[in-house]
């Protein structure tokens, strides 16, 4: 009798027969969604992410409206909710373009080119960059009136150990180490790899914080997606 009762109790009730498969299906969907979300978060936190460039300080290498994929994994990404970082796998070298926490406001992420590293002597004479008294050939730098202006001149400075001297390729239109000093190498969080997508719009459109204007801009992007996308830049490596 006891055995019979156990066997009957183990059978699904008639009312549950149609309900359990539905519950199981939604549970499976929820698990898949959570796993996908976890993978996205892990990729964003530890490997890399995409972001738009809203200013022209790195033109012509990087254009306003370029959406870049940049990698973090080599630069000791920080573990969330802690101040711990994973081991750094790569050292920054002269000529690298890096993303870093702006020294005066770490909440902001800047993108610049490293022109000198710790111990280097850096200066500019009539628009030419000199590192350790040797002129640097900069085919990437945007040439403008800065050769004859104050931004084309900079007295010699020694970069402290463990720090980086960074500059924008668009020397006439870049706030960089010439203005606010070198960047601690520990502030570097990644480097751009390639352009995912590039849309031709002025800096004001990308930087406008007004929600209504941003919605209007999003609508404009949809309307002009094909005519203003810079198709030739899609997939372009950044260097």
Q: Which tokens hold the place of 220?
A: 């404009």
pTM of the model: 0.79
**Can 112 be counted among the known catalytic residues?**
yes
Q: pLDDT per residue over 53-74, tens digit each? A: 999 999 989 999 999 998 988 8
pLDDT of amino acid 27: 80
Does any domain span residue 11? no
Q: pLDDT per residue over 76-105, tens digit each? A: 887 777 778 888 888 999 999 999 999 999
pLDDT of amino acid 34: 82
Report which of 165, 175, 152 is spatially closest to residue 96, judged by C-alpha positions.
165
Does any domain span residue 129? yes
**Can 198 be counted among the known catalytic residues?**
no
Of residues 72, 112, 174, 198, which has the active-site annotation? 112
Does any domain span residue 224? yes
Residues spanned by the domain of 106: 47-233
Sheet holding 188-198, edge to edge: 48-52, 66-71, 188-198, 97-102, 105-117, 163-167, 183-184
Domain tally for the chain? 1
Does any domain span residue 31? no
Of residues 57, 174, 177, 198, which has the active-site annotation? 57
Q: pLDDT per residue over 138-169, tens digit each? A: 889 886 654 555 667 899 999 999 999 999 99
Does any domain span residue 20? no
pLDDT of amino acid 45: 64
Does any domain span residue 195? yes
């Amino acid at each position: 009798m006891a055995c019979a009762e156990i066997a009957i109790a183990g059978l699904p009730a008639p009312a549950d027969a149609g309900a359990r498969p539905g519950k199981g299906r939604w549970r499976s969907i929820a698990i898949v969604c959570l796993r996908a979300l976890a993978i996205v978060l892990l990729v964003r936190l530890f490997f890399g992410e995409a972001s738009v460039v809203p200013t022209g300080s790195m033109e012509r290498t990087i254009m306003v409206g370029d959406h870049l994929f940049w990698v973090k994994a080599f630069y000791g990404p920080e573990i969330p909710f802690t101040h711990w970082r994973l081991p750094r796998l790569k050292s920054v070298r002269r000529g690298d373009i890096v993303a870093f926490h702006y020294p005066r406001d770490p909440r902001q992420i800047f993108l610049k080119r490293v022109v000198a590293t710790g111990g280097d002597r850096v200066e500019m004479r009539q628009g030419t960059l000199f590192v350790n008294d040797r002129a640097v050939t900069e085919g990437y730098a945007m040439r403008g009136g800065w050769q004859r202006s104050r931004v084309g001149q900079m007295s010699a400075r020694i970069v402290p150990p463990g720090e980086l001297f960074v500059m924008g390729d668009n020397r006439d239109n870049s706030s960089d180490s010439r203005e606010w000093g070198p960047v601690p190498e520990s502030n570097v969080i990644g480097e751009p790899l390639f352009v995912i997508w590039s849309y031709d719009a002025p800096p004001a459109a990308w930087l406008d914080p007004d929600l209504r204007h941003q919605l209007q801009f999003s609508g404009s992007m949809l309307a002009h997606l094909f005519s203003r996308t810079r198709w030739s830049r899609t997939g372009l490596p950044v260097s």
